[in-house]
Amino acid sequence: MEGGRGVATNELACAIEVRGLTKCYGAVRALDGATFSVGRGEVVAYLGPNGAGKTTTISVFCGLRRRDAGEVTICGADVDRDPVAIKRQIGVVPEESNLYPELTGRRNLEYLGELYGLDRAVRRARADELLETFSLREKAEAPFRTLSRGMKRRLTVAAALVHAPEVLLLDEPTAGLDVPSGRALRRLIQDINRAGATVFLATHNLAEAEALADRVLILLKGRVVAQGTAAEVRRRVGRVRTVTVAFCDPVTEATLRDACPAVRAVSPAQGGWRLEVTDAHAALAELVAFADRQGVRIEAVEAAGASLEEAFLSILDGAARPAEGEG
């Protein structure tokens, strides 16, 4: 699902509103005026290199850190002035699990329900529901410490949902998981969102961001330097980067490279050639002219823009480069 559902923030009431968020640790500005909003029902991926300020942002959201400046509201409540209301509205999945290793999966869920003030019958029913939803019923009575890493992550997400929050904050939820466990957890996140929750996903996994998110926010040195759908962010890089072409007749790499000046590099692709190009329009025109001269037919051709990874790295490089005249 490319770029998620493409929900526009201005069409939705804001679940999260951040204006000029600043947080310092001594002389280090972990967040430096970050500004963005998240609409209700959106999945937003929060991307950035290590040290960009992603975890600090989530810590401010859930009250573990107090902001130094700026405004942050979640579901209309200020995170510093109304922390109790915030805690009712959010569920948090930290990078490292915060559940009790000696308690069983069921007891962890019921205990958290008790902390949120749920009646005994309600929290027991909620624990049963979550254990079933997250395919953990068979391990319900096993101590948390004995579960596999994938099961621990699933139970940690389940624990964040005990009180049915409106906003789910996820910090690297699939980090360290094997492929099947990561895929299963991503499906659960999609299901949670379809059920109505807003999802704020801090991740290094660009494929995960592209698969899950309606929009992406790119954070660098405490500031949001780019945002939009994955497709919009990719388009910021500009022109098509690669063309894949297949011919009905044999064509050599050297002949192809010499005939097409707009092609920077040629490498074999399944059933044809992958061309790195400087100008897609010029490269396609040159390929047609080349085929006519050589008396060969083009069987298939496909142009591809920059990947989200290429766009991400390009944006970070551009944002980090000093402006002209700066030393």
Summarize pLDDT for 83-138 with one digit per residue, the tens: 999 999 999 999 889 899 999 999 999 999 999 999 999 999 999 999 999 999 99
C-alpha triplet 64, 162, 112: angle, nearest 5°: 60
**149 and 105 in one domain?**
yes
Domain range for 266: 242-305
Residue with tokens 């579960």: 147
User: What span, in angstroms and rounded, lies between the C-alpha atoms of 161 and 90?
Assistant: 9
In a domain, 270, yes or no: yes
Q: Could you tell me the pTM of the whole model?
A: 0.77
pLDDT value at residue 327: 40
Look at 21-35, 211-225, 299-313 and tell me which has the smallest mean pLDDT: 299-313
pLDDT value at residue 4: 42
**92 and 176 in one domain?**
yes
pLDDT value at residue 6: 44
Selected residue with higher pLDDT from 235 and 25: 25
**282 and 214 in one domain?**
no
- Range 9-32 average pLDDT: 87
pLDDT value at residue 305: 65
User: Would you say residue 239 has pLDDT above 60?
Assistant: no
pLDDT value at residue 321: 54
User: Would you say residue 7 has pLDDT above 50?
Assistant: no
Query: Chain-wide mean pLDDT for the chain?
Result: 88
In a domain, 2, yes or no: no
Look at 112-121, 198-207, 274-283 and tell me which has the smallest mean pLDDT: 274-283
**270 and 131 in one domain?**
no
pLDDT value at residue 240: 55
Q: What CATH number corresponds to the domain at position 300?
A: 3.30.70
Are 185 and 151 contacting, i.e. CB atoms less than 8 angstroms apart?
A: no
pLDDT value at residue 148: 94
pLDDT value at residue 11: 41
pLDDT bucket at 322, cuts 50 / 70 / 90: very low
pLDDT value at residue 238: 59
**200 and 150 in one domain?**
yes
pLDDT value at residue 237: 67
User: What span, in angstroms and rounded, lies between the C-alpha atoms of 98 and 96?
Assistant: 6
Number of helices and strands in the chain (H, E) = 11, 14
pLDDT bucket at 213, cuts 50 / 70 / 90: very high
pLDDT value at residue 124: 96
Alpha helices (H) along the chain: 54-61, 83-89, 105-115, 120-133, 149-160, 179-194, 206-212, 230-235, 253-259, 280-294, 308-320
How many domains, the chain?
2
pLDDT value at residue 8: 43
How far, CA to CA in Å, does 297 sit from each of 42, 243, 263, 271?
Answer: 47, 16, 19, 14
Token duo for residue 323: 């402006």
Selected residue with higher pLDDT from 24 and 256: 24
**254 and 216 in one domain?**
no
Amino acid letter for position 4: G
pLDDT value at residue 275: 83
Which residues, 6 or more positions from 289, have their beta carbon under 8 angstroms from its beta carbon? 259
**190 and 79 in one domain?**
yes
**228 and 124 in one domain?**
yes
In a domain, 204, yes or no: yes
pLDDT value at residue 76: 93
Task: Tell me the pairing of strands 167-171 and 14-25.
Answer: unpaired
In a domain, 250, yes or no: yes
**85 and 27 in one domain?**
yes
pLDDT bucket at 176, cuts 50 / 70 / 90: confident
In a domain, 315, yes or no: no
In a domain, 219, yes or no: yes
Amino acid letter for position 131: L
Task: Write phi, then psi, for 259 (nearest 5 degrees).
Answer: -80, -15
User: What span, in angstroms and rounded, lies between the C-alpha atoms of 191 and 151?
Assistant: 17
Q: What CATH number corresponds to the domain at position 36?
A: 3.40.50.300
User: What span, in angstroms and rounded, lies between the C-alpha atoms of 122 and 114?
Assistant: 10
Q: Which of 13, 21, 42, 62 is nearest to 200 (CA)?
A: 42
In a domain, 57, yes or no: yes
pLDDT value at residue 10: 44
Task: Tell me the pairing of strands 272-277 and 242-247.
Answer: antiparallel
pLDDT bucket at 165, cuts 50 / 70 / 90: very high
Q: Which of 228, 241, 217 is nearest to 306 (CA)?
A: 241
Selected residue with higher pLDDT from 276 and 191: 191
pLDDT value at residue 194: 95
**253 and 146 in one domain?**
no
Task: Tell me the pairing of strands 77-78 and 28-39.
Answer: unpaired
**202 and 70 in one domain?**
yes
Question: 309-315 long-range contacts, Cβ below 8 Å, gap at least 24?
Answer: 309/206, 310/234, 310/237, 310/241, 311/233, 311/234, 311/236, 311/237, 312/47, 312/206, 312/218, 312/233, 314/236, 314/237, 315/218, 315/225, 315/226, 315/233, 315/236, 315/237
Selected residue with higher pLDDT from 153 and 306: 153
Domain end marker among 188, 220, 235: 235
**173 and 118 in one domain?**
yes
